[in-house]
Amino acid sequence: MWGDAWARYGQKFASSFARYWPDGVGLTIVTDKPVDCPRADQFPLFDMPGYPEFMDRHRNDRRALGLESRDRKAKPGERFWKRDAVKWAPQGLAPVVGLDGLNDGDLMAWLDADVETIADVPAHWLNVLLDGRDVACLLRGQQHPEIGFWCIRVGEATRAAVREFASIYTSGRVFDLPEWHSAYVWQHAFRDIPAGRITNLNPQMIRGHCWPHTRLARYTRHNKGKLKGQ
């Protein structure tokens, strides 16, 4: 959470998490300033390895800000989201923070800060979603995945994928990819995980806002885009 995220939707995320998630589930948030979230460990945004250096190189780089995209949907003078590496880099780096202290076999889930929990989450829910595999996520066929939620069983391959997610940004390799937003980069970073080790929580391959049509909707709501703050 950075900028005005805490005031806009982060407080709803935090209060609903504290109310509905089991006490044994730890929460780590990455934030640019301390927030009143007593259940969470808070990790400073600019302490993320590689992030200060990335920002020093690119915060004023028009190309990295998505201001020079030639995509037909890009508007002159506006940052184009598919090529705005500066906007999306924190989402690529933050998951590495979550790996700290976890052992092989432990579970780690990512939740966007605009996710609201709406019912009591069962203690073994993440295990159920993984269904014996290493990754649970929302794939959407030819469209990039929805990464407001994803979950891994920690192991050599998944640790490597999470670290690759960060490294693509910090190394600058992101600029060699066709798209620079976090969902596209996540898909690229996890490309070496065999399909048989991935549970797709969107088996119907619904495009767009697929969340309400998946098992995630029983306990959570993703207030993305125009839904933020409602």
pLDDT in tens, 70-129: 999 999 999 999 999 999 999 999 999 999 999 999 999 999 999 999 999 999 999 999
Residue linked to tokens 């076999």: 105
Mean pLDDT of 49-69: 97
Mean pLDDT of 153-172: 98
pLDDT at 6 exceeding the cut of 90: yes
pLDDT in tens, 127-136: 999 999 999 9
pLDDT in tens, 29-54: 999 999 998 889 999 999 999 999 99
Percent of the chain exceeding pLDDT 70 equals 98
Q: Are 22 and 123 in contact (CB under 8 A)?
A: yes
What does the pLDDT read at residue 225? 72
In angstroms, the CA 94 to CA 29 distance is 8
What does the pLDDT read at residue 227? 62
Tell me how crowded residue 114 is: count the other CB atoms within 10 A of its CB: 21
What does the pLDDT read at residue 49? 95
207 is written with which tokens?
């495009």
Q: Which residue has the higher pLDDT, 165 or 38?
A: 165
What does the pLDDT read at residue 229? 55
Q: How many CA atoms does the CB half-sphere of 50 hold within 13 Å?
A: 19
Can you list the domains of the chain with their CATH numbers?
Answer: 5-227 (3.90.550)
Read off the pLDDT band of 216 (50, 70, 90).
very high
pLDDT at 163 exceeding the cut of 80: yes
pLDDT at 191 exceeding the cut of 80: yes
Read off the pLDDT band of 226 (50, 70, 90).
low
In angstroms, the CA 165 to CA 104 distance is 19
pTM confidence score: 0.95
Q: Are 13 and 116 in contact (CB under 8 A)?
A: yes
Residue linked to tokens 């990455």: 30
What does the pLDDT read at residue 98? 95
